[in-house]
Amino acid sequence: MKGEENMLNCIKAWMELLKLGNVTHLRKELNLFFRGNVIRILKEEGWFEFLSVPRTAQEMLEHFEYQDGTFLKEVLDTLVSDGTIQRLNDEKYQFIPPLDEGWVIPRIFTESMVEIWKLHAQAIPERLKSNYIDFSSGINLFNWDDVLTDKLYEQIRRAAFAFSRALSRRGNFLDVGCANGHGTAAIWSYYFKKGSIRKNDADIHIIGLDPDENLLVIAKEEFHRHLMKHLPLSKVELERYSSTFPEFKKGSVLEIPFEDETFDVVYASQVLHWTDAKNAVREMLRVTKPGGIVFGTENFYPRANRYNNLHFLVVREARGFFYESDLKQWALQAGAKKIQFCTPISIFLIKK
């Protein structure tokens, strides 16, 4: 019975994802986009010219005055992984023309989304010199607002809620990495539509947590505006529910500012690759009550794209993508009872 229920929830999640269009096409477009971003930057940097004769990683470090040999190896291995450059027997790397610079803007991306990812790719040479960027540093906040309001986030969130059946739970809900709070507002509206929220009284108490103060400012200031996108309620009508609105709090998933076993539900969508996922999972499970759930969305290897991964690694704390088997191991080590996965833009569901 349990198995059938899971399958049914997974089908519901798939149906939400399919509203984004053909998932295989979408993945192809995303891969081309992220690869193209990196290739452009490395070409401008003079990589392909320099690698037209075989070179060692050490020669690359010296020539370009890079400092981070580990990250350099990651970039080189990424180029080797799809045959863009060759790794020769003597640990040298070589580029043999022609260079495929194919690039496409994914149909589901807004202009702002394109701009932000380009900025992350442009940060790769500096990162090779050991200079990092912050999550929203130098990035126009209006753009972030636009990006996180994107249909992609909406549909993967809906898919995650369908699979986890989180709406049937009550109590304390933690939205980890809530960013501009647009998702948090959508989550409030899901519970509202389900009847879990009444005037000045609710079955669910939502907290949005993010370390980025700039994004939290947007979350607090624009909560009403975000809500009204999801609900047919006026600002005045909404005000009557104000005591049930989420609280937005500054904090990291690596040090969640709450006591052990505080939450019934912990949710992290597209957050774990921006941080140290292993410790994040341990911390999320610490604040989850026994019988509670930790769920969210993540892009796992081998489906996740290595060029995309490089875009995250320019941020100091980010460790990038990992495998489902890693998450399973970390969760079980941290005391989880069970972990399940569903759909290609993967949903994970951890039961404590």
Ligand X SMILES: C[S@@+](CC[C@H](N)C(=O)[O-])C[C@H]1O[C@@H](n2cnc3c(N)ncnc32)[C@H](O)[C@@H]1O
Applying CB under 6 A, the residues found at the interface with ligand X are: 135, 148, 153, 157, 176-179, 182-183, 210-212, 215, 252-254, 269-271, 274-275, 317
Q: Please, which residue, 100 or 134, has the CB nearer to ligand X?
A: 134
Please state the closest distance from residue 178 (CB atom) to ligand X, in A: 6
Here the tokens at position 193 are 């539509």
Long-range contacts, stretch 41-50, CB < 8 angstroms, 24+ apart? 41/121, 41/122, 41/124, 41/125, 42/75, 42/79, 42/124, 43/99, 43/101, 45/125, 47/95, 48/95, 48/97, 48/99
Q: Please, which residue, 47 or 135, has the CB nearer to ligand X?
A: 135
Q: Please, which residue, 39 or 187, has the CB nearer to ligand X?
A: 187
Distance of CA 268 to the CA centre of its chain: 8
Query: Apex CA 108: angle with CA 103 and CA 114, to 5°?
Result: 50
Q: Please, which residue, 93 or 135, has the CB nearer to ligand X?
A: 135
Please state the closest distance from residue 67 (CB atom) to ligand X, in A: 24
Q: Please, which residue, 245 or 267, has the CB nearer to ligand X?
A: 267
Please state the closest distance from residue 24 (CB atom) to ligand X, in A: 23
* 89: Cβ contacts below 8 Å, ≥ 6 apart: none
Residue 276's CB is within 10 A of a number of other CB atoms, namely 16
Compute the distance between CA of residue 153 and CA of residue 20 in angstroms, rounded to an integer: 10
Please state the closest distance from residue 265 (CB atom) to ligand X, in A: 14
Compute the distance between CA of residue 124 and CA of residue 310 in angstroms, rounded to an integer: 8
Q: Please, which residue, 130 or 137, has the CB nearer to ligand X?
A: 137
Please state the closest distance from residue 50 (CB atom) to ligand X, in A: 34
Please state the closest distance from residue 268 (CB atom) to ligand X, in A: 7
Q: What is the spatial order of strands in the sheet that 55-56 belongs to?
A: 55-56, 92-94, 86-87
